[in-house]
Every structure is written in structure tokens, then in C-alpha cells.
Chain A
Amino acid sequence: MKMKKDKGILIKNLAKTHENKWVALSADRKKILASSISLKSLKEKIGDNKVIYTRILPANISFAF
């Protein structure tokens, strides 16, 4: 029996509407709990809930930082 080795996380509810936005991830980083164009408004939506903030990069663009 093959063991699953790939540990990559594909966020369950990731959608095109999240592109270039701030998102609040669940603690296990598997689900987007809320999103917004600005961090300020996202934090207002989230309140005191424990989340991880990040930004969703647009698809169809390759990045070299």
C-alpha cells in the first residue's frame, strides 16, 4: 500500500474572488474564513477569532520575488 507523501495544502474553498485579497485562514490553513480587499476591513469581519492572515496570489501569473 502506498503512503501519501504529498503534504501540500490546497485550501478547500479557494476561489477566483480571493485573488489579490487579504484572507483569514483557519488555524490548520485549510479553509478561508473571510476575505477582503483591505486588511482593516478583514480584521473587522474576523473580530477576536484566531486566524492566520495571508494574501492570495493571482492565477495565470508566474512570480519571481
Chain B
Amino acid sequence: MDWKEYGYIGNLRNWRDVSESVIYRPYVTIYIHNGNERIPVDALVDSGSDGMVIHAELAKDLGIDLSRCPHKNLGGATGSKEGFTCDVSYEVDGFPKDTIETKAIFVPDLPVACLIGQEDFFERFIVQFEKRNNVLRIAKAQK
């Protein structure tokens, strides 16, 4: 099986003391597109997410008019938000020939640029989270 590796991205928990602690999270670069528009984004790999969630600011760059998209509620561990659903497609860095077509929910004020989840990402890839060494491994799932 052809595994590809991606280092987790670190963020400081305390800006005054770098040595205090760093939290590493599993991000992978994806290329989101809609028609001819294509944007490279670091997406958080979120096994708890039903599907793809995208920050609403990216919609304009993708040529998507959210006022024409159906409303959709998004529930999370700590609350809910209202968003808009729209078809998009993306490729994961390292897998250029595997285009994933999915319905994404665009949400204003999302803390991250993008989440990828169960229905879009995990159904197509075998995923290893190796937290101990802060590395994410991905292989194409065989049909």
C-alpha cells in the first residue's frame, strides 16, 4: 500500500513561553475547486465531522454565491451554526488523480479554513493518526 506522510502542524498554547507546550493537530493540504477556480488550503482532518466544512470567506474565491445556496444547520460539540451547502470538489496533496466530489457546508466565522470528515475523506482513504510522532499517514482505500 502506498502511504503518504504529513507532519502535524503545531500551535503554541502560551505565546510567552514557547517551551511550555505546543499542541500539534493533523492538517493536510488540499486543493479545493469549483469550475476553474482552485485554492490550496490546509484542512484539519476531523474524524468527528460528518463531512466537509469550509470557512465562508473561501466561497467568493471559489466563485460560489452563497445567497443562492440552501441553508444548512451545523451542530458541533459546543454549539450550532447556520451555514450554506454547495457542491465542491478537491484533491488531497499527493493524490492528484483522486478528485473527491462532495457537498460542503460553508460557515462564517469558522476558526479553521476547512475541515474534512467522514463522508468526503474517510470513505476514500485509509488514515493513520500517529500522535506520538505527530504524523498523519494516508493511503488510497481499495474498492
Query: A interface vs B, CB < 8 Å?
Result: 5-11, 14-16, 20, 22, 25, 29, 38-40, 43, 50-60, 63-65
Residue of A whose beta carbon sits closest to that of B58: A39
Task: Answer whether A7 and B60 are a contact pair too, CB < 8 Å, given A52-B41, A59-B15.
Answer: no
Q: Which of A10, A15, A22, A57 has the most CB of B within 10 A?
A: A10
Whether the Cβ atoms of A7 and B133 lie closer than 8 Å is yes
Majority SS at the chain A contact face:
loop
Nearest A residue to B115 via CB reads A65
Q: Which of A5, A29, A52, A64 has the most CB of B within 10 A?
A: A52
Instruction: State the 9 A-B residue pairs at the shortest beta-carbon distance, nearest first.
Output: A8-B134, A54-B42, A64-B77, A10-B10, A7-B7, A7-B135, A16-B15, A8-B24, A39-B57
A59 touches B76 (CB 8 A): no
How many residue pairs bridge A and B at CB < 8 Å? 95
CB distance from A3 to the nearest CB of B (A): 11
Taking a contact as CB atoms under 8 Å apart, the answer to whether B5 and A65 are in contact is no
- Of A6, A14, A40, A60, the residue contacting B133 (CB under 8 A) is A6
Interface size range on B against A: 35 or more
Q: Quick check: is B127 within 8 A (CB to CB) of the other chain?
A: no
Q: How distant is A59 from chain B, measured CB to nearest CB, in Å?
A: 5
Q: Does B104 contact A (CB under 8 A)?
A: no
- B91 part of interface (Cβ distance < 8 Å): no
Q: Are A65 and B134 in contact (CB under 8 A)?
A: no
Q: How far is the CB of B40 from chain A (nearest CB, A)?
A: 5
Smallest Cβ-Cβ distance to A58: which chain B residue: B111
Q: Which single residue of chain B is at the shortest CB-CB distance from A15? A: B15
B27 at the interface (CB under 8 A from A): yes
Q: List the B side residues contacting A11 at CB < 8 Å.
A: 9-10
Q: Is B29 an interface residue (CB 8 A)?
A: yes
